[in-house]
Amino acid sequence: MAAAIRASRALKIFVSNVASETGETDGFTCGDFVRALEEHVSSSMFDIVVQNNNYEGNLPEGVQWIKAEPDRDTDFAVYQADLVDSGTPWRHESGKLAQVLIDLYQERTGPLVE
């Protein structure tokens, strides 16, 4: 499956978690997620990494924001946007995320034409 994904000319986007999952991804950064995934499949798998940049809101105890590390995350293109759901800030807001993905796709390919 990894070979097929790498061979595809499709735009490959990794969407990073907004916040950590207690006991699973404690202390992870955006780059840690990408590197962990690439250890299992392949390096340079993604064209763009989408990362939240809104760190406002109260998170549950033990949950932390997943942040980019500008000094370390240079191995891949990172696109940052406000992806937070204001009611549950540890989750993506689907409308915001969908709009970012559409914008990134259209930036690369142009608008869809019927």
pLDDT of residue 94: 97
Domain range for 89: 2-109
The burial class, CB within 10 Å (0-12 / 13-18 / 19+), for 63 is middle
Instruction: Report residue 2's pLDDT band, with 50, 70 and 90 as the boundaries.
Output: confident
Average pLDDT over residues 54-72: 87
Q: What is the CATH number of the domain that holds 35?
A: 3.40.50.10680
63 found inside a domain: yes
CA dihedral 75, 90, 56, 62 (to 10 degrees): -90
Q: In this predicted model, what pLDDT tens digit does every residue of 19-40 receive, in sequence order?
A: 988 877 788 888 888 888 888 8
pTM for this model (two decimals): 0.84
For the beta carbon of residue 57, count every other beta carbon within 10 angstroms: 15
Based on the structure, what is the number of domains in the chain? 1
Q: Is residue 114 part of a domain?
A: no
| Cα four-point dihedral sign 89, 92, 98, 101 | positive
Nearest to 16 by CA among 37, 40, 45: 37
Question: What's the mean per-residue pLDDT of the chain?
Answer: 86
